[in-house]
Amino acid sequence: MTISYYDQEVIEGEKSIFLAGPTPRTPGIISWRKEACEILEELGFNGIVYVPEYSDGETRNNYNYEAMWERKALTLSTVIIFWIPRSLPYMAGFSTNVEFGYWLHTKKVIYGRPDNAVKIRYLDWLYKTDYGLNPINNLNELLQKATEMVNDIKVCRE
């Protein structure tokens, strides 16, 4: 598994998962993406994982660069998982709402959130309406489905 972070050029490859969702902006809040990468490693995922964060975990004031990096990685990704553990005020994820709506039409989105996430009713409704699926409430299960989806898409392309 190869992880592609903000502080690297976007890596291109045949199999990839983009980890979309809120990023902690408060010191001391650990990103959910660390656990997601550990789970993907345990699942034996052997593609690229796009992590829209810096490898050192620090934040920077580099908005245009980060937005363009994300756009390229989202476009290249095989599957986009949206994990939205929204809690206010520490994990608001307001940009995530826009990204979710923007990328939903690609049919490469898989969506989940914990049961205690707040302000997600509209996202749940959109996902159910557009995909006919309920959100997944377990990060492990979400990532398992994502790896299956990546492998299914790769088989279809061959």
Element (H, E) at 103: helix 94-103
Full-model pTM: 0.93
What's the confidence (pLDDT) of residue 90?
Answer: 80
Confirm if 115 and 137 have CB atoms less than 8 A apart.
yes
Pairing of strands 48-51, 2-5: parallel
**Cα–Cα distance between 2 and 22 in angstroms, integer?**
21
Is residue 29 over pLDDT 90? no
- Mean pLDDT (the chain, rounded): 92
Mean pLDDT score, 16-41: 92
Number of domains in the chain: 1
Is residue 155 over pLDDT 70? no
Per-residue CA distances from 154 to 7, 112, 120, 147, 151 (Å): 27, 22, 31, 11, 5
Domain CATH code at residue 112: 3.40.50.450
Which structural domain, as residue segments, surrounds residue 35?
2-157
Confidence of residue 122 (pLDDT cuts 50, 70, 90): very high
Report the DSSP beta bridge partners of residue 136: 112
